[in-house]
Amino acid sequence: MHSTHQVSILEKSSLAISLLFYGLQSVIHMLLNEKFLTWGHHQDLKRLMVLP
């Protein structure tokens, strides 16, 4: 009975860890996408300023 209890705790912790990693991954992707979008926007602004 004690061993099964430990297994359930391990399963819960592993689930929490996987959720945490998923959250971090999505946040990192969001930040990277934002950076690339802003960088692209700045490049477009530079191009627009250079054209006239």
- DSSP letter at 40 equals H
pLDDT tens track for 8-24: 988 999 999 999 999 99
Residue with tokens 């860890």: 17
Q: In angstroms, how far is the first alpha carbon of the chain from the final one?
A: 77
- DSSP letter at 10 equals H
Token reading at 46 = 């530079």
Token reading at 34 = 């934002």
pLDDT tens track for 42-51: 667 667 667 6
**What global pTM score does this model have?**
0.48
